[in-house]
Amino acid sequence: SAVISQKPSRDICQRGTSLTIQCQVDSQVTMMFWYRQQPGQSLTLIATANQGSEATYESGFVIDKFPISRPNLTFSTLTVSNMSPEDSSIYLCSARTSAYNEQFFGPGTRLTVL
């Protein structure tokens, strides 16, 4: 298995500001993903974080709004830019282990935008 940590665990932000969320995995993984979980909803994929290249975004999510970095095989960041109250969600990082195609999740970052 992989142990994933995220920082911050929660934050309250003002409209128009940006927040960067960090995701650290305790071992090298092939793939990392970012998901959003809006209140009372299921998880929606934002993007696949590709090591050394630009992230692959899902329909409805754009790089200007959610820039992602993945400088190595254990670390990734997601920035939520120019935030609005609609961005209030839990943001979760996940990692896929190639050995067994298991996917584990970080504890999430609970974001509230005022």
Partner 1 sequence: AQKVTQAQTEISVVEKEDVTLDCVYETRDTTYYLFWYKQPPSGELVFLIRRNSFDEQNEISGRYSWNFQKSTSSFNFTITASQVVDSAVYFCALSVTDSGYALNFGKGTSLLVTP
Contact footprint for partner 1 (CB under 8 A): 1, 31, 33, 35, 41-45, 48, 56, 90, 92, 94, 96, 100-105, 107-108, 110
* Residue whose CB is less far from partner 1, 15 or 107: 107
The residue to which tokens 């997601």 are assigned: 78
Write down the least CB distance from residue 54 to partner 1, Å: 14
* Residue whose CB is less far from partner 1, 75 or 105: 105
State which H helix or E strand residue 36 sits in.
strand 31-37
CB distance 106 to 8 below 8 Å: no
Write down the least CB distance from residue 107 to partner 1, Å: 5
The strand order across the sheet containing 68-72 reads 4-7, 19-25, 75-80, 68-72
Residue-level length of the chain = 114
* Residue whose CB is less far from partner 1, 77 or 94: 94
d(CA 112, CA 11): 6
* Residue whose CB is less far from partner 1, 99 or 114: 99
Write down the least CB distance from residue 37 to partner 1, Å: 9
